[in-house]
Amino acid sequence: MIRLMLVDDHALVRAGLGQLIEPACDIEVVAQAAEGAEAVAFVRRSGSRQRPDVVLMDVSMPVLDGAAATRQIIELDPAIRVVALTSFADQHAVLAMLDAGAVGYLVKDAAPAEILEGIRAAARGEAPLSLAASTALVRARARRTPDVVLTARERDVLALLTNGLSNRVIGRRLGISEATVKAHLTRVYQSIGVSDRTSAALRALQLGLVERA
């Protein structure tokens, strides 16, 4: 069961998300918060069995915004996976959330199935990114890196990473070990000038190294 916390300063949004998630037999809403400080306080006082696995975090909130709350929550428990959720795909907000440690970014007008799959993907250790958020990030980091040379296998690994798959699943798809996947990704990161999975996926799209499935 995936333990989920909803953080949004609009009660109607929280109620709507709760109704969306309620029928899902594999996701349980264990907490709701109206702003970032309240979310941080819940994580701080909760035990390991009550803490959420995934947090859907609004970006713009009073008292403590989404980026600041995300940073504090991850400091308290790095295992918690924060997914940014907002009604817009502002490039600066996207970057702030990801720089704070969010693993993905979804927009509130996404299809219900996309939001549910985003929660599940985050819980699996993957990086859910809406198309609108991907576009915003590509524009925000729109700088060219000429002469990027990757091997065919490195491109295969990068393509599967861009589609949100974990290292373990990538290894299974390609018939190689998880350690080999990590070695390929280390080389890919160096080649395209990034240091994490989310940036690698977006950089690959920006440079045209892979196509989004």
| CA distances to 90, 132, 144, 159 from 106, in Å | 12, 8, 26, 20
Could you tell me the pTM of the whole model? 0.68
Mean predicted lDDT score pLDDT of the chain: 86
pLDDT for residue 13 is more than 80: yes
pLDDT tens-place string over residues 22-57: 999 999 999 999 999 999 999 999 887 889 999 999
pLDDT computed for residue 98 by the predictor: 82
Give strand pairing partners of 86: 107
Identify the structural domains of the chain with CATH numbers, from first to last. 2-140 (3.40.50.2300), 152-207 (1.10.10.10)
| CA distances to 51, 93, 198, 200, 203 from 157, in Å | 33, 28, 14, 11, 14
Question: pLDDT-derived band of residue 132, with 50, 70 and 90 as boundaries?
Answer: low
pLDDT computed for residue 10 by the predictor: 92
For residue 107, is it left (φ>0), alpha (ψ between -120 and 50) or beta? Answer: beta
pLDDT for residue 207 is more than 80: no
